[in-house]
Amino acid sequence: MDTFQQDSRKELIALANARMPYGKYEGKLLIEIPENYLVWYQNKGFPSGKLGNQLAQMMEIKLNGLEKLIYPLIKK
């Protein structure tokens, strides 16, 4: 596996295990946040930085029905 693939895999694992740090869904995994909340957040404007990027990525994953790819990456 080349460096790009390793970095992509690490980023995907980090996304799968990322938790919402505040608000209505504080402490929940991003994958657990309902799609309608992510759409609302997109319309409002995702926060800047890593969290905003992760929320945008999670919204794309949910919109495309790819959640099943995330669940196996969640650490117990």
Assess whether pLDDT exceeds 80 at residue 35. Answer: yes
Per-residue pLDDT of 39-68, as tens digits, reads: 999 999 999 999 999 999 999 999 999 999
The four Cα atoms 76, 19, 28, 71 give a dihedral, to 10 degrees, of: -50
At 10-28, the pLDDT tens digits run 999 999 999 999 999 999 9
Q: How many domains does the chain have?
A: 1
Domain carrying residue 14 = 3-73
Q: What 3 state SS string does the chain have?
A: CCHHHHHHHHHHHHHHHCECCCCCCCCCEHHHCCHHHHHHHHHHCCCCCHHHHHHHHHHHHHHCCCHHHHHHHCCC
